[in-house]
Structure 1
Amino acid sequence: MTTSASGSLWHKITSRFSRQGATSSGPRKIPRDQHGISRKQISDSALKVISRLNSAGYEAYLVGGGVRDILLEGQPKDFDIATSATPEEVRRQFRNSRIIGRRFKIVHVRFGHEVIEVTTFRAHHEQQDAAPSKNAAARNASGMLLRDNVFGDIDDDAARRDLTINALYYSSKDFCVYDFVGGVEDLKNRVIRVIGNPETRYREDPVRMLRVVRFAAKLNFDIEPGTEAPLKKLAPLLQDIAPARMFDEVIKLLMNGRGLQTYALLRRYDLFNPLFPATQKLLDQNLPNAENFIQQGLANTDARIAEDKPVTPAFLYAILLWPAVKELLAQLIAEGEPEIPALHQAAERVLHRQQQSIAIPKRFSLPMRDIWELQLRLNRRQGKRAEQLLEHRYFRAGFDFLLLREQVGEVEAGLGQWWQAFQESHPDARNAMARHIRQPSNNDKRRPRRRRRGPRPQNS
């Protein structure tokens, strides 16, 4: 996505409104000839949802990232709709839809592989008495919202959104953009700003702190000082977020093509620690290569995303947890555990602790273990082992992980080059390559066994 808008576009949008803020008299209404958004840039499915809701008598607007990204002259990946219809009313309009979520009910309308997310206008919780159902909103002792289903009108909804740049609404009825909270001005000035009091909004939902960092990195925007100020103090509130929710949030943070920049901001504002406490502990101890390894891994991931190559969460999490696994592996081997069982124990312990912060599904945690185990097996190239490893279902991921470790000096130089040549060679040549690998000497073989028997006598 282009992160800077053309001068002519911004002149059209802001020349008329640059000195005005959103007021109680209503939003800024930016007509078609001043904002540059075309229906051709909007998903046909999103337009169908808006049209049907409008025809049924409801208000409906394209909102959030779909509007923001088009104004920034990019192409949105998702199109979200905000409407006056309740979730149940939206559900009745679309057979191809379902209501999801308890804390924050939304409707997913599916068109083939495309999903349009539809949310009902939210209101302030002071209006709960007028809400359509009992217990529509609830908070815990720290102020975090446990339920958030108080409905209102579009003015209320704009005030309840997280960031000003995500509170822009496009109407396909009059083709205007509606700006209630100064989002256009913040887009122009390249600023991330929370709507309302930042500390209150972060306490309502601590994940908003991650969204601030994510959009600042993704768009290369500055964080407004008031929005920035409470981040470090309130970072520990992320420990209260359900681990299952945190898994998805980390994917959004670090797999958007700006993972390295996002990581730097997470570290700056102490937001990395509640996500990966074991890794943070080692970073604080200046463990050799740990920082370089994570940074290089994220840089490589960003490069793959830029080239439109596939990236799996398993590989990303394998990078972020490897420093902790490697450190515990070394401790267990020093205590006499054989290498492979030691790795299995290290992986089990690290993942068990990590699940308390971020719930990593087995479909990703199992491949992670294989990637880590391959790091030991890729050193063993004698005989038929090398040929057999090529058939491993996660060989390519393990090989890429090995290259990353070699980049930061964690393994001997040339090992990755050997495996690259081995993959590209004819089977006969592979046999010759494997035969020329130096076999471990007898002393090499005996040393691990001697250590496993226990410590040497004091007089040895």
Structure 2
Amino acid sequence: MLAAVEHQATAPRCFRPCHRKLNAPKDFNRLNPKASTGHALSVIPREQHTISRKNISKAALRVLYRLNEAGYDAYLVGGAVRDLLLGGHPKDFDVATNATPDEVKKLFRNCRLIGRRFRLAHVVYGNEIIEVATFRGTSEEQGEGDRHVVDGRIVRDNVWGSIEEDAHRRDFRVNAMYYGISDFSVRDYVGGMKDLHDRVLHLIGDPATRYREDPVRMLRAARLAAKLDFRIGPEAAAPFAELGPLLSGVAPARLFDESLKLFLTGHGLKSFRMLEQCGLLKFMFPATARALKRGDEALRELIEHGLENTDARISEGKSVTPAFLFAVLLWGEVRDLAYTWTTHGKDAGEAWSRAAAHVVDEQCRRVAIPRRFTITMEEIWSLQPRFEQIQRKKVFRLLAHPRFRAAFDFLLLRATESPGIAELGQWWAHAQQLPHESLAAALPLQHAASSVNMDALRAVTPRKRKRRRKPAGRSGAT
């Protein structure tokens, strides 16, 4: 465990932003030694932690230095500090300061103010955005600004305060450490350094209260545990069963953003398993939870294989699309509904179309998947039964479909459903390798195959022509 220096003092009377530059360790003595967590302030000097400025983006350093030179306190905070201490390389850098958003905007021409719920300043450098937040306060009477709470849930919070209050307004202890640009020390007000060492996630304050303030913190706990390979503290996990239904009151667009962070940042498989373990999957993807509850192990294998492939593509720097991922997660319910309606006499095309529309409609009430993705999802699903139609015109029409590649990749994932599906995938993989003329000659004009004859297709594979040898005596030499 990293060594730390503890400082004790009395809490300041006023929590209005202080525009005095905090230069030396002697100023730390003015800070509150303990707060509601019971942890004393720990200051880890530069020589006792692993954060280096060379691992911090130049844009973030520009913001930190300019705020500091203007007389404001400026700290790198949150996930960037956490990841740097763990030896990682964060992509996003957030700054906390005692300058108000309007004061930040005066310092930076390339700044825009955003947000009603949380007033923030975004400083833009090319493609990089540095988010600058003013220290949040805990009491409206002691700070300035406004806070609005409905049924225990914070719907607006723009009360400014001190750095101590800001630390205790954050969610997890590991996210409440501050890297100061004035002396390059790390300041820990809530015991985050110990949690990093123990690889555990603890909430700051009463977990039930913090989840009611913002139910998305439950999803964030699962995501961080999966990403960092941490465990969730028992007191932090205990309210999930009772408070999980609060997620239904979160804006569906916000849950879409959270789902991308869960599944499309390189640790999707771990996030999926963590959501199941915490009992939160049914509140995000009810159709997926229902299908898995029916005990379909082939479906589970399909989902986990799809997430594993997505993680591998991200690690290799390849592109991924949310449409394919959501198609994998919701496939079980779509398939079961389509089969049920087909057996009850519905036309197959209509059954698949209705099943897809029904599942997408239900899911979008929870997670607002944009239309450009749901269209692709429905096309991937609707093409699956067409793979079974081995007929000349239909085969070539399917091969020319703009979504053929995505649908074919999806078919390969379904290989665990049955030996017939696995053989179907092999058939189409082999068919794509044949010349157009050879494939056309091998396919019947009128045939709807329920099972695929791989031997018949292999029989039309062009044979390699034997190389003729030149007759003896005919050499190229003169």
- Please say whether Structure 1 and Structure 2 have the same fold, judged by a TM-score greater than 0.5: yes
Q: Which residue of 1 aligns with 2:114?
A: 100
Letter in 2 for 1:132: E
Residues 143-152 or 289-298, more deviating: 289-298
Q: Which residue of 1 aligns with 2:447?
A: 439
Alpha-carbon distance between aligned partners in 1 of 2:300 and 2:420, rounded to the nearest angstrom: 16
Match of 1:318 among 327, 344, 352: 327
Letter in 1 for 2:249: D
CA shift digits 1:120-177 (9 cap, x unpaired): 21111xx2134433xx212222x11111221111111111111111111112221111
Describe the shift of the 1:286–1:153 C-alpha distance in structure 2 as closer, same or farther (beyond 3 A): same
Q: Which residue of 1 aligns with 2:468?
A: none
Query: Is structure 2 residue 418 aligned with structure 1 residue 421?
Result: no
Describe the shift of the 1:67–1:429 C-alpha distance in structure 2 as closer, same or farther (beyond 3 A): farther
What are structure 2's unaligned runs of at least 5 residues? 9-31, 451-478
Describe the shift of the 1:410–1:87 C-alpha distance in structure 2 as closer, same or farther (beyond 3 A): farther
Alpha-carbon distance between aligned partners in 2 of 1:162 and 1:441, rounded to the nearest angstrom: 57
Letter in 2 for 1:45: A
Alpha-carbon distance between aligned partners in 1 of 2:202 and 2:316, rounded to the nearest angstrom: 31
CA shift digits 1:12-61 (9 cap, x unpaired): xx24469x996359631111111121111000011111122222322221
Describe the shift of the 1:394–1:97 C-alpha distance in structure 2 as closer, same or farther (beyond 3 A): farther
Query: Is structure 2 residue 147 aligned with structure 1 residue 137?
Result: yes
Alpha-carbon distance between aligned partners in 1 of 2:227 and 2:53, rounded to the nearest angstrom: 25
Describe the shift of the 1:373–1:51 C-alpha distance in structure 2 as closer, same or farther (beyond 3 A): same
Alpha-carbon distance between aligned partners in 1 of 2:358 and 2:117, rounded to the nearest angstrom: 32
Note the C-alpha offset of 1:243: 0.9
Alpha-carbon distance between aligned partners in 2 of 1:437 and 1:402, rounded to the nearest angstrom: 24
Secondary structure at the aligned position of 1:316 is classed as helix
Note the C-alpha offset of 1:349: 1.2
Query: Is structure 2 residue 24 aligned with structure 1 residue 23?
Result: no
Match of 1:199 among 203, 208, 221: 208
Letter in 2 for 1:35: H
CA shift digits 1:245-265 (9 cap, x unpaired): 111111111222222222222
CA shift digits 1:319-375 (9 cap, x unpaired): 111111111111221222222222111111111111211111112111111111221
Q: Which residue of 2 aligns with 1:169?
A: 178
Paired residues of 1:381 and 1:437 also in contact (CA < 8 A):
no
Secondary structure at the aligned position of 1:346 is classed as helix
Secondary structure at the aligned position of 1:413 is classed as helix
Note the C-alpha offset of 1:64: 1.1
Match of 2:303 among 294, 297, 303: 294
Match of 1:67 among 59, 81, 84: 81
Paired residues of 2:211 and 2:217 also in contact (CA < 8 A):
yes
Describe the shift of the 1:381–1:153 C-alpha distance in structure 2 as closer, same or farther (beyond 3 A): farther
Q: Which residue of 2 aligns with 1:128?
A: 140
Paired residues of 1:405 and 1:411 also in contact (CA < 8 A):
no
Letter in 2 for 1:329: A
TM-score normalized by the length of structure 1: 0.85
Describe the shift of the 1:189–1:340 C-alpha distance in structure 2 as closer, same or farther (beyond 3 A): same
Alpha-carbon distance between aligned partners in 1 of 2:127 and 2:440, rounded to the nearest angstrom: 46
CA shift digits 1:198-242 (9 cap, x unpaired): 111111111111111111111111112221222222111111111
Describe the shift of the 1:164–1:408 C-alpha distance in structure 2 as closer, same or farther (beyond 3 A): farther
Identity %: 48
Alpha-carbon distance between aligned partners in 1 of 2:440 and 2:179, rounded to the nearest angstrom: 64
Alpha-carbon distance between aligned partners in 1 of 2:446 and 2:427, rounded to the nearest angstrom: 13
Paired residues of 2:97 and 2:135 also in contact (CA < 8 A):
yes
How many residue pairs align between the two structures?
Answer: 423
Secondary structure at the aligned position of 2:112 is classed as strand
Paired residues of 2:388 and 2:449 also in contact (CA < 8 A):
no
Task: Please tell me whether Structure 1 or Structure 2 has the larger radius of gyration of its CA atoms.
Answer: 2
Q: Which residue of 2 aligns with 1:237?
A: 246
Match of 2:103 among 89, 93, 97: 89
Alpha-carbon distance between aligned partners in 1 of 2:4 and 2:304, rounded to the nearest angstrom: 44
Describe the shift of the 1:66–1:440 C-alpha distance in structure 2 as closer, same or farther (beyond 3 A): same
Secondary structure at the aligned position of 1:414 is classed as helix
Describe the shift of the 1:43–1:357 C-alpha distance in structure 2 as closer, same or farther (beyond 3 A): same
Alpha-carbon distance between aligned partners in 2 of 1:283 and 1:116, rounded to the nearest angstrom: 41
Secondary structure at the aligned position of 1:118 is classed as strand
Describe the shift of the 1:429–1:49 C-alpha distance in structure 2 as closer, same or farther (beyond 3 A): farther
Q: Which residue of 1 aligns with 2:317?
A: 308
Q: Which residue of 1 aligns with 2:21?
A: none
Query: Is structure 2 residue 340 aligned with structure 1 residue 331?
Result: yes
Q: Which residue of 1 aligns with 2:132?
A: 118
Alpha-carbon distance between aligned partners in 2 of 1:80 and 1:151, rounded to the nearest angstrom: 17
Secondary structure at the aligned position of 2:266 is classed as coil
Describe the shift of the 1:217–1:22 C-alpha distance in structure 2 as closer, same or farther (beyond 3 A): farther
Secondary structure at the aligned position of 2:72 is classed as coil
Describe the shift of the 1:410–1:26 C-alpha distance in structure 2 as closer, same or farther (beyond 3 A): same
Match of 1:409 among 409, 418, 426: 418
Counterparts in 2 of 1:210-249, with a 5 A limit? 210-249=219-258
CA shift digits 1:383-406 (9 cap, x unpaired): 143333333332222121111111
Alpha-carbon distance between aligned partners in 1 of 2:181 and 2:295, rounded to the nearest angstrom: 54
Alpha-carbon distance between aligned partners in 2 of 1:110 and 1:410, rounded to the nearest angstrom: 54
Secondary structure at the aligned position of 1:393 is classed as coil
Secondary structure at the aligned position of 1:386 is classed as helix
Describe the shift of the 1:246–1:37 C-alpha distance in structure 2 as closer, same or farther (beyond 3 A): same
Counterparts in 2 of 1:335-346, with a 5 A limit? 335-346=344-355
Q: Which residue of 2 aligns with 1:8?
A: none
Alpha-carbon distance between aligned partners in 1 of 2:290 and 2:202, rounded to the nearest angstrom: 31
Letter in 2 for 1:371: I
Alpha-carbon distance between aligned partners in 1 of 2:109 and 2:438, rounded to the nearest angstrom: 60
Note the C-alpha offset of 1:275: 0.8
Residues 191-200 or 23-32, more deviating: 23-32
